[in-house]
Chains A and B, each alone.
Chain A
Amino acid sequence: MSAMQKQMQKEMPKQSPKEVINIQGLHKTYVLDGVQVHALRGIDLTLHQGEYLAIMGPSGSGKSTLMNIIGCLDVPDQGSYWLNGQDVTKMHSDALAQVRNRELGFVFQNFNLLARTSAVENVETPLIYAGVAKAERRRRAIDMLQRLGLAERLYHLPNQLSGGQQQRVAIARALVTRPSLLLADEPTGNMDSATSAELLTLLAKLNLEDGLTIALITHEADVAAKAQRKVTLIDGQLEHN
C-alpha cells in the first residue's frame, strides 16, 4: 500500500465508494464570434472515488467545455454540479480557487508548465497557494518528482525536458496537493506513440495502485480504452457505453 493510499484512507472513513462528481442536467451556452453555441445540452454524470473515466468525443462535441466546468474554471448556465459533496455552482471565485487548489489536479495537452521555471518550482507552485511553508513545499515537490522518475531532472527548465518528461512534471504538480480528482485534457495529444503509451501506463498505475480518481478527455479510442469506464459526448449530450 503506497503512502498516498494510506493518506487517503486516513482522511476518508471507509464506506461504499464516495461520489466525487455528481452532475445533473448541465447546460452551457456561450457566444463565439457573435454565434450562440449550445455546447452542453443536459449532461448527467457521476464519478465515484477510485474510478478511471474516459470522456470521448470528436472535436466540437463540447468536451472541453465540460472539462472546464468539471475543473471549476467555468460555471454552467443551468443544472447542478456537486464535487465531493459541495455545490460548486454556488461558489465565488475565491472559493473556486480554493477548490481547484485542494480538490483538483490538472494535466493539460500542452503541459502548461511555467516557462523559465525549474521542474521543482513548477511542482511547488500549487503548494504556495495552499500556504505550505517553504521547506515543506520543497520536500514534497522533490518527493513527488522522485516518485515519477524525475529525480535527475529536479532543476531542469521545461525547455530542457522531453515532452514525456514535461508531462510527468505536470502530473507531479497535479498530484502534489493530494487532490481527490485528476483531470487530464488530451494528455497524450502532443506525444509520439511510445511516450504516449508510457504515460497511459503511468496513469493506469496511479489509478490501480494509489486509488487515484481520474477523468480523462480524449478523442482517440485507443487512449480511452485504457480507462475503466467510457462515456462519449456527441453534440453536447452523453452516451454511456
Chain B
Amino acid sequence: MNWAAALQLALKALWRNKTRAMLTALGVIIGVASVIAMVAIGSGAQQRIAEQLASMGTNTLVIRPGSVTRGGVRTGAGTTTSLTRADAEAIRDIPGVIAIAPTVRTGVQLRYRGTNWGTAIEGVTPDYISVKSWPLAEGEFFTEQHVISAAHVCVLGQTVARELFGLSNPIGETVVMKGMACQVLGVLSEKGATAWGSDQDDSVFAPLTTVQRKIMGVTHIDRVEVQTAGREATYQVMKDVTQLLRYRHRIQEEQADDFRIYNRAELAKTSEESAAVFTWLLGSIASVSLLVGGIGIMNIMLVSVTERTREIGIRMALGARRRDILWQFLLEAMLLSVAGGIIGIFLGLGGALGLAQFSNFPVSITPWSIILAFSFAGLVGVFFGMHPARKASRLQPIEALRYE
C-alpha cells in the first residue's frame, strides 16, 4: 500500500466521523494553544524584566567606602573618606571595565530668581550618563574640560527643572548654589524613582571637581559606579577591584576591607532566573493539557478499533497486511494530533496577540515554543495512537470477521 492511498483512507475514515474527529482534535488544539499562549506570556514578562534591568544599568558594580574601626568604635558604611578619584582612575585600567563614574553627593539649596528648591547635588564626570544609561532630554552634558577647570556649570534633573523653571526653558539660565552662579547646560530625561522609592530626578549634576572643591571642600569621593563588559566579566572585575583597592589602601592581610562592592548583576541574574522559571512553569502546566488531549485521542482510537473490528477483518481478508492496518490507525491518530497542532498554533498565537492588544500585558512569541508544541503534538499522536493501532493490527482475521 502506498502512502497516498493510506493517507486517503485515514482522511476518509476521519471524515466519516467528523464531529467525533473534531472533538478529539479539540483536546490537542487546546493543549497546543495553551502551551504557546502561556510561554508567550511567560517570555513577555521575562523580556519586560530584562528591559527594566537594562535601564537600571545591570552590568555595573557600585563601590562605596566601608566602615572603619577607631578605638573600638565602628562607623557605618560610607562614612570614611578613604575612596579617592585616583582609586577610580586606577579601576578604569582593570580589564573588563568599560567605564567608571566617580561621584560625590551633598545637599544644596538652589536659587533661581524668586524661587528656590532644596535638592541633592552630585559631582560627576562626563561618563556618568553612559554608565547610568541616562540620556539627556535637552541641551548637553558637561565635558572633561569642564571637570578639569572645575567650571561653574550644571545639568538639572527633571524634578529640579520643573520646580525652578516651570514651563520655561532652563538652558543657558544661571542658578545659584552656595553663593556660586552656575550656568545650566542641559536637562536629563526622566528616570523615575528607584526601586526603593527615592526620586532620581530630584538632583542637580555638576563637574566632580566643582562640587568637591567649591561646594564641599573635600578630596574624597562617595562612590564609584563601574560599568563592566558583561555579566560574566563582573565577577572577575569584583575580585580585581578588591585586590587593587586593598593594595592601594595598604590594607594588611588580617585587616578587613575599608570599602564595599555592591553587585547589581547579582540582582539582575536572580530576577531573570525567576522569570525563566515562571515561563517553564506556565509551559509545563499547559503541557499537561496537551497530554490530556493525547489521552483523548487514545480513548477515541480504542473505541474506533472496537467499532471497526469487522472492517479490519474484511480488510485482512482482502489482503491487508498487519502493518497496513497498523499504519491506517496510526495515521488517523497522527492526522488528528497534527491537525489539532496546526489549529492550536494559530489559536495560541491569536490568543497571545489578543491579550497583548487588549490588556497591555507584554507577550513575546518565541519560535521554539511553536516548534516544541507542534512536535510534542505529533509525538502525542504517535505515542497515544500506537497502542490502539497495534491492537487493531493484531486481530485474528477470522475472529475479526465474525465480530458482531
Contacts and interface: CB of A to CB of B under 8 A. Distances in A.
A71 interface: yes
A112 B317 contact: yes
A211 B324 CA distance: 32
Interface in B297-353: 310-311, 313-324
Interface in A148-190: 173, 177
Contacts of A68: 398
A100 to B, nearest CB: 5
Contact of B319 (A74, A116, A130, A134): A130
A146 interface: no
A112 B401 contact: yes
Interface string A47-72: 00000000000000000000010010
Nearest to A115: B311
Given A114-B311, A116-B16, A134-B5, A129 B320 contact: yes
A151 to B, nearest CB: 23
B321 A126 contact: no
A102 B319 contact: yes
Given A97-B316, A114-B314, A131-B1, A73 B9 contact: no
A128 interface: yes
Nearest to B5: A128
B395 to A, nearest CB: 11
Contacts, number: 64
A232 interface: no
B2 A100 contact: no
Contact of B321 (A73, A93, A125): A93
A95 to B, nearest CB: 9
B318 A129 contact: yes
Contacts of A116: 16
Interface string A111-151: 01111100000000110111100100000000000000000
A94 B321 contact: yes
Interface residues of B, number: 23
Contact of A100 (B4, B317, B324): B317
B314 A129 contact: no
A141 B318 CA distance: 14
A131 B1 CA distance: 5
Contacts of A131: 1-2
A71 B397 CA distance: 11
Given A73-B398, A115-B311, A128-B5, A106 B319 contact: no
Contacts of A114: 311, 314-315
B5 A97 contact: no
Contacts of A173: 318
A131 B128 CA distance: 78
A129 B319 contact: yes
- Identify which of B310, B316, B317, B320 gathers the most chain A CB atoms within 10 Å of its CB: B317
Contacts of B320: 97, 129
A73 B324 contact: no
Contacts of B311: 114-115
A101 interface: yes
A85 to B, nearest CB: 19
Contacts of B4: 134
Contacts of B398: 68, 73-74
A98 interface: yes
Nearest to A64: B398
Contact of B318 (A74, A125, A134): A125
Interface in B1-38: 1-2, 4-5, 9, 16
A71 B1 CA distance: 21
Nearest to B322: A93
A88 to B, nearest CB: 14
- Identify which of B9, B16, B314, B324 gathers the most chain A CB atoms within 10 Å of its CB: B314
B319 A126 contact: yes
Contacts of A97: 316, 319-322, 324
Contacts of A108: 401
A135 to B, nearest CB: 12
- Identify which of B9, B310, B320 gathers the most chain A CB atoms within 10 Å of its CB: B320
A139 to B, nearest CB: 15
Interface in B358-378: none
B16 A128 contact: no
Given A68-B398, A128-B5, A128-B9, A106 B322 contact: no
Interface in B384-404: 397-398, 401
A98 B322 CA distance: 11
A73 B401 contact: yes
B322 A129 contact: no
Contact of A101 (B9, B318, B397): B318
B1 A112 contact: no
A128 B4 CA distance: 10
A100 B319 CA distance: 5
Contacts of A125: 315, 318
Nearest to A99: B319
A159 to B, nearest CB: 14
A207 B320 CA distance: 27
A106 B318 contact: yes
A131 B397 CA distance: 21
B401 A126 contact: no
Interface of B: 1-2, 4-5, 9, 16, 310-311, 313-324, 397-398, 401
13 contacts: A73-B317, A93-B322, A97-B316, A100-B318, A102-B319, A114-B311, A115-B311, A125-B315, A125-B318, A129-B324, A130-B319, A131-B2, A177-B319
Can you list the 8 inter-chain pairs with the closest CB atoms, starting with the nearest? Answer: A101-B319, A129-B319, A126-B318, A97-B321, A73-B397, A94-B321, A73-B398, A128-B5
